[in-house]
Chains A and B, each alone.
Chain A
Amino acid sequence: MNVQHLTLHVPEPQPCFGGTADFSGFRLSDAGRVRRPAIDVEASEIRDLAYELVRVLDADGHAVGPWSDACTVDQLRSGLRAMLKTRAYDARMTMMQRQRKTSFYMQCTGEEAIACGFQSALKAGDMNFPTYRQQGLLIAQDWPLVDLMCQVLSNEKDRMKGRQLPVFYSAREVGFFSISGNLATQYVQAVGWAMASAMRGDSRVAAAWIGEGATAENDFHAALVFASVYRPPVVLNVVNNQWAISTAQSVAGGAQATFAARAHGYGIPALRVDGNDYLAVRAAACWAVERARRNLGPTLIEWVTYRAAPHSTSDDPSKYRPQNDQLAWPLGDPVERLKDHLIGIDEWSEVRHVQLKAELDEEIAAAAKEAQGFGTLVEGSKCSPASMFDDVYKSMPPHLREQRQELGF
């Protein structure tokens, strides 16, 4: 009798280390081709969109199709500025980490359009539950750079009092929930926050954030079940930047079905969007946020992008992916694409672009100088060690008071 010997399928990353970056298997939808559904569409009517890619900017930088009218020129210039500022901030903080002024940093290079564009669709009072790569949500709101830097430097002005790893910000007043670091846990919390908003008859919406790798976590699925059952005002963002540290998106299940398609099993409407196209990001974000605001329930959006930088300053991508693979990435660079578009419609120029970059560099250098004046992880002042006993509980129980005394405070 013939026996079929079984074999195990272990996905290989695309592009592979050692080879040249090859994205020929990546299927693009033409810009402007994907329809824009009615705001109250049923999930079942747009299942095909989970396998398309909402794109507005074509190869020549023209804005085309039904998603192309979401932005005014001022909004686009403001988006360009937010992305450039985010990129310059990342560069500066990476340098400060290399100078050993802090322990760790995480850039969002190549992904700036997603956070910056999404934030522009929200209103004051809405709440993001971000991951560690959504600094653009804060920078797009012009949250003070010195404040962000002091957190990264863990110095005396760090609002988190030196407790959190660098980049794990919290800024309640601008709708930025404290970053956990345990993946996916906050996805379901965003659903709970949105349920509370609905239970109270409020008008505020929540935005959940997760990377494609962490969609494998239980909490992602718990969040989708609860969002499906109670239909709270939440946008479920999945940032697919292709890499979970060194693990390709195929190991998270991305080769069998898109991450957007995961919403189908839960009856949640889903879009798959070019995350490197600021116009597409803003249009899709406005669509999903409006659905939430109008009590039409949750929307899942897969933002397709590419992590152009290492996972963090502790990572070395040369060990697992081809050099300069981000240059071969078919969706290009979000900053360059928006810049080309604005220049193409005579609303921007190379000269103004260079000027703006210089202005931002200056602003960031000044902020860095000010922030370092309050100390760095290795030099200058930090929050007192006594403060680590604060905020464990609202009021300090006797055993913590005793331990604080034991430490000498």
Chain B
Amino acid sequence: MPSLTMIEAIRDAMDVMMARDDRVVTFGQDVGRFGGVFRCTDGLQGKYGSSRCFDTPISESGIVGIAVGMGAYGLRPVAEIQFADYMYPAYDQIVSEAARLRFRSAGEFSAPIVVRMPCGGGIFGAQTHSQSPEALFTHVAGLKTIIPSNPHDAKGLLIAAIEDDDPVVFLEPKRIYNGPFDGHHDRPVVPWSKHELSETPQGYYTVPIGEAVVRREGAEVSILAYGTMIHVAEAACRAVGVDAEIIDLRSLVPLDLDTIVRSVIKTGRCMIVHEATRTSGFGAELSALIQEKCFYHLEAPVVRVTGWDTPYPHAQEWDYFPGPDRVGRALIRLMES
């Protein structure tokens, strides 16, 4: 199997689907000729023509709005929002339109669209290129929200998202586009080629939406994470020597609660790690669910390690980012409590 980066895996997913299904189209700012500022659509316009991969005006609301119309027509649009931080003008189209169309028309119309957007920090992008707005989507009935942590899952999940009949928000942690970043920003960059999950099958395959996966089996504590934080959590566990079970949620809605509950009941301890701000973050939902489903199995309160409740800073990036040191210290405290 070839070793791909996240970017190559995402591009490959679109390539596979555009070849298989001529209803699949992709568009967004700088997506067509240039191939995307992160190169995720590089070469697709040349291969499939400018009516299937094209540049759009700088209007997120327009990008998602036309996607909804195309989806209602019968196409399978994959819209790119250049940075998740820029999605707010499109929020009305995502929340009030894409997410509700099937419900409000009693199934007459639907919006089988994918809205891709790079998210997360770690690239010195400050508050306009670093946000993790996943909880703004998981709160919305009718949406599916996905965040892959590696090339293998990124390709399989994106193919599943394109085939899905419901609107899917596909968040791409941009710090792991080119390598499995574990939060050690002062160490040399590790490429994906050294990571087993960069081994990506050629051609068509899917990773099912709504299935979490145990990345590391362990007995002492369950760590729930997704995206970049999977790699941070792995590094933290190695550093402090805790035998943690790391669960990669992959899909936040629908959520694989069975895998989570099984693990927390086994370990009796639970830590949730995400880059997004803490208050009303997805960790709050996870924490509430664990309290509801696993209360009598818990040895200690559920712990959240997250971004602070501040805008994402520039110079103070590594004080904001929940890196392996912070996760490691929290793990030690959790094991002592």
Tell me the A residues contacting B by CB distance below 8 Å. Answer: 127, 129, 159-161, 163-164, 168, 170-172, 177-178, 180, 182, 185-200, 206, 218-219, 222-223, 225-226, 229, 390-394, 397-399
Contact = CB atoms under 8 A, between A and B. Distances in A.
Contacts of B52: 199
Interface in B240-256: 253-255
B108 A185 contact: no
Contacts of B61: 188, 218-219, 222
A393 B75 contact: no
B92 A185 contact: yes
Contacts of B142: 392-393
Nearest to A397: B254
Contacts of A199: 25, 51-52, 70, 75
A189 B254 CA distance: 27
Contacts of B141: 392
Given A160-B105, A398-B254, A196 B75 contact: yes
Contacts of A178: 101, 104-105, 108-109
Contacts of A188: 61-62, 65-66, 69, 93
A179 to B, nearest CB: 8
Contacts of B129: none
Specify which of B68, B96, B108, B210 lies most central, judged by the most chain A CB atoms within 10 Å of its CB.
Answer: B108
Interface string B85-105: 000010011001100011111
Contacts of B214: none
Given A206-B69, A226-B56, 9 more contacts: A163-B103, A177-B72, A188-B93, A189-B69, A200-B73, A218-B89, A219-B93, A226-B57, A392-B142
A163 B104 contact: yes
B89 A191 contact: no
Interface in B118-141: 141
18 contacts: A129-B69, A163-B103, A163-B106, A170-B104, A170-B109, A192-B68, A192-B73, A193-B72, A195-B70, A197-B73, A200-B73, A219-B61, A219-B62, A219-B93, A226-B57, A226-B62, A393-B102, A394-B166
A191 B57 CA distance: 14
A190 B106 contact: no
Contacts of B66: 188-189, 191-192, 195, 226
Nearest to A129: B69
B89 A397 contact: no
A145 B142 CA distance: 31
B81 interface: no
Question: What 4 pairs across the A-B complex have the smallest Cβ distances?
Answer: A192-B69, A192-B66, A188-B65, A222-B62
Contacts of B101: 178
Contacts of A200: 73, 75
Contact of A391 (B67, B69, B89, B107): B107
Interface in B137-164: 141-142, 144, 164
B59 interface: yes
Contacts of B70: 192-193, 195-196, 199
Contacts of A391: 102-103, 106-107
Interface string B183-217: 00000000000000000000000000010000000
A34 B132 CA distance: 55
Contacts of B67: 192
A348 B104 CA distance: 42
Given A178-B105, A180-B97, A399-B254, A222 B59 contact: yes
Nearest to A202: B73
